[in-house]
Structure 1
Amino acid sequence: MVDVNLTLDPVWDAQGAGWVSADHHFHLNYGGPYDLVPTDLIPMMKGEALDVATPLIANLHDRFESQDLWGWQKPGGVPLIRFGQEIRSHFLGHMGLIETQDLFWPWVWGPGYQVYGTDDRTNGEVLEYAHEKGGLGYYVHPVSTAEPFSEGGRASVPVELVVDAVLGDVDALELVCLWSNPIGTAAVWHRFLNLGLPIAPSAGTDVMTNFYRTMAVGTTRVYANTGGAANWPAYLGAYKAGRSFVTNGPMLDFRVGGVGPGEVVPLDAAKGGSIEWTLDLRTAVPVEQVEVLVNGEVVWSSAGLSQPGHRAYSGRIDLPEAGWIAVRAVGGPAGWPSMDMYPFAHTGATWIGQVGSSDAAARAQSARELMQVLDVSEQQLIAGYVNLDIPKLRARFARARARLEALTSP
């Protein structure tokens, strides 16, 4: 017998740089003959250098499993583990809840279900419940196409997502997930940001860890800048504020005017009309393109890396009077250790002037584009609840439509 020792050199010391990593969407058990216990996650997380996990309790058809695990949490320090819940109104869109203290009921409803199939219940009720309980609510694996604003792509957006976001009830959006398209999801998120909605980026694998040969937990993840603190309050504060980036491989450390994602660039920081930015890209997989975005538009781009490694970028950009700035790295072959459709990473928004500021022209254009999606979503709502009285849902859609209409003029 021969002993073989392998030394793996990380491409980045995330914790040393003040970042904490998390996977906010996977399931400890999901059917099958072999159940895991929560402590089985610890070696998995250590093997993937994953600091935080919120496995989601969810239904398997008409089985409401793992309720006995609700409230379990790992004592001590990293890795940090607490259970959340996935609410599955398949028709209106799936949501994740964390830090809610109690389970929401019912777990499922809407057209197509044998129970609660005709309920006039909104996803907004779930998000309101999360906030009342001191928790966070976010949409998971939302968009499956790369072009959600095309004529054929608008129906891919979850039926109630635009409504809930426009009404200010969505805390985060899962940009990166194994079962959705990050480019398309980010396109929808950009429009929300352009309305001045400070929705944080989130990420989760949606793997079932008790399955054989499933993808690794943390394959898609969010990194939040806590300044090095590795505890629940510090992490959740950074996550909700969008002091973060999401990724399935590339790592992004972006600063503009000296401040990072989730923070604010003062209006007077742009000397002579432009401002300096810096980016450290580190990646374990090749990535084709790196882009700086202002209000969703690419204002600078460059080639990425053809192999794992590190590259530093810098430059200057002109800033509008309001809106947001971010960086995206995208493209390249899919392959280990990424385990996703293509490499992708995106920072949270760095705001101009104040959190939630918005450029008038970008706001009006985004409102018009989201209105087109809302039109399709409302058609789907009417068709799905055919011949049923749904005053709550209708009223919620009407409120969102009125708000968008008010935003369509610069």
Structure 2
Amino acid sequence: MRIALLSIFALLLVYAERPADSAVLELSTSSRMPARFYIRKNNANFRLQPTDALIPIRGDTFYRDPLWTRSADPKLLEVVAADQFHYLLLKGEASIVLPPGKYKIEAYRGLFYKPAFDEFELKPNETRKLELTLAPWPGADPGAWISADDHIHLTRTRAENHVYLGWLEAEDLTVGNFLQLQRQMDAAPQYAFGRAGEVKRRGYVIRPGHESRNEYWGHINILGPERLIRPLSTGLMYANTPESWPYPSLLFAEGRKAGGTVGYAHFFQKPQHSTIYMDAALGNIDFVEVFQFGVLKTDAWYELLNAGIRVTGIAGSDFPVNLGRMRPWPNWLPLLGPERAVVKGRPGENSWETWARGVREGRVMVSNGPIVELDLDPNTGAATASAAFYRSLEALEIVRNGEVIASSRGPRVETRVDQAESCWVAARVRAETFPGEPVIQAHTNPVYLLKDGKPVAVPSARRSLSAKWQEELAYYRGAGIDFGGAQRRREFFEQAERALSRLRP
């Protein structure tokens, strides 16, 4: 009896909250797929209220943005950032109360689905059903790829897992790497690490890791370790002591021992400081973030590859920082995984392990929209690049040691690669880009053709990298860095000099 009375009270409360003459939109997607959507009224974005769940993104440096819920099992999530309102159908359907009027709606699901658009008019007290069809665009097979964002900062307890998994599914992001970090105090904390902190559903997975930062050494990501490796940050900018110890090489070694996949965030260049050239030269890293904030850093990446350094380029959003980098936020881009590191493979019980293995092996495509693939015969040098997207393709290119050797405006291009000396080969594509969007593009990681087993060695790239690292070393020697002891200082500079000797032509 008490339950019945409570149910009646809840229904009366909902009815009381509903404005007079309002209408109800019973919104759903085909096959009830979770998706992100926007509603416009009178040619302006319309804010829905109330919603079942809300994340107001303030975006301070402590990443304390909480998830608020009105329901134990939310259907509709609102993400508010930079005065924009983003809505996610966590279960592919929801009832939305709206005032009468004319509306436009658009829905998105990751990178491999064509957006859906519709217009409708609601009359007073009307209840209308609207189903939006979201289907993969021709050439896309969402079930053949594992897509990931390596760099998400969201505070997470077990209680939020079902909402965050729904969000990943709405963005069709297979893997979300949720990273704890530190700015004096711990930020974006995770309740556990490794398998104990992993949660998965229907092939989608959240795996915890952490970002470690220092004003001299740069920012590094340790993805998926079985334990949290402290100190999370060092130095006065990010931690609580002046010591800049341990430096990244030591953290990478511990991260790998803990089962993590390790590398550099942001790919810092001058004027920021970073030990990336040291760790890349010494083989201490698996990856570097080359695609972030809408920018693909091909020049810096190509220079590493031309110098003979084999490192996988990946993509990560640095969520929620990304939401403040483009205003207004382009509707096409997912909030999580606007740029993605994508590995060929079927999502399933071991999605994170399959993706991490692909990163370590260099089998990654980075993309914010199109698909691009490269087929290369190591015996003949015959290379074929293929690409697909629902928008027109502007340029499909094959590059050898960073130079374009074949190009087409169509979905396929072929050439034969010169194998007179060791080289790397990759494919890249640019697609139609709408106003307000970053360049819509994708890029494969390199495939290597090695002459007599010798590494790639473009002299100009090696001279450039060795000069950059020598300049960084000169800065470190004069910067007054607190290593916490003379022996530690000697250890660092011994490794730094060893890296310099490897970088020299």
Category of TM-score, reference length = shorter chain: 0.7 to 0.9
CA distance in 1, matches of 2:445, 2:170: 26
What SS does the aligned partner of 1:83 have? strand
CA separation of 1:139/1:297 partners in 2, compared to 1, >3 Å: closer, same or farther? same
Shift in Å, 1:87: 0.8
Of structures 1 and 2, the one with the larger relative CO (CA 8 A, separation 6+) is 1
Indicate if the aligned counterparts of 2:183 and 2:237 stay in contact, CA closer than 8 A: no
RMSD: 3.3
CA separation of 1:69/1:102 partners in 2, compared to 1, >3 Å: closer, same or farther? closer
CA distance in 1, matches of 2:452, 2:441: 25
1:359 corresponds, among 456, 460, 463, to: 456
- Are residue 237 (structure 1) and residue 357 (structure 2) matched? yes
Matches within 5 A, 1:223-234: 223-226=342-345, 231=350, 232-234=352-354
What are the superposed Cα offsets for residues 118-155 of structure 1, whole Å, 9 maximum, x if unpaired? Answer: 33431111111112222211111114xxxxxxxxxx62
CA distance in 2, matches of 1:210, 1:323: 34
Which of the pair has more CA radius of gyration?
2
Q: In the alignment, what sits opposite 1:182?
A: 296
CA distance in 2, matches of 1:89, 1:172: 18
CA distance in 1, matches of 2:160, 2:323: 13
Q: In the alignment, what sits opposite 2:501?
A: 402
What SS does the aligned partner of 2:293 have? coil
CA distance in 1, matches of 2:355, 2:245: 36
- Are residue 44 (structure 1) and residue 162 (structure 2) matched? no
Shift in Å, 1:4: 2.4
Q: In the alignment, what sits opposite 2:444?
A: 347
CA separation of 1:24/1:106 partners in 2, compared to 1, >3 Å: closer, same or farther? same
2:335 corresponds, among 216, 222, 225, to: 216
Shift in Å, 1:69: 4.0
2:413 corresponds, among 285, 306, 313, to: 313
Q: In the alignment, what sits opposite 1:307?
A: none
CA distance in 2, matches of 1:177, 1:199: 17
Matches within 5 A, 1:20-39: 20-29=146-155, 37-39=160-162
CA separation of 1:98/1:114 partners in 2, compared to 1, >3 Å: closer, same or farther? closer
What are the superposed Cα offsets for residues 178-205 of structure 1, whole Å, 9 maximum, x if unpaired? Answer: 27x423xx32222332343331121111
2:370 corresponds, among 221, 232, 250, to: 250
Q: In the alignment, what sits opposite 2:389?
A: 283
Shift in Å, 1:354: 8.7
What amino acid sits opposite 2:152 in the alignment? F
CA distance in 2, matches of 1:194, 1:210: 30
CA distance in 2, matches of 1:283, 1:381: 46
CA distance in 2, matches of 1:241, 1:26: 23
What SS does the aligned partner of 1:58 have? strand
Q: In the alignment, what sits opposite 1:82?
A: 207
Shift in Å, 1:332: 6.0
Q: In the alignment, what sits opposite 2:275?
A: 160
TM-score normalised over the length of structure 1: 0.78
Shift in Å, 1:253: 2.0
CA distance in 2, matches of 1:111, 1:370: 29
Task: Tell me which protein shows more strand as a share of its residues.
Answer: 2
What SS does the aligned partner of 1:252 have? strand
Q: In the alignment, what sits opposite 1:260?
A: none
Indicate if the aligned counterparts of 1:26 and 1:209 stay in contact, CA closer than 8 A: no
Segments of 5+ residues of structure 2 without an aligned counterpart are 1-125
Number of residue pairs matched by the alignment: 364
Q: In the alignment, what sits opposite 2:134?
A: 8
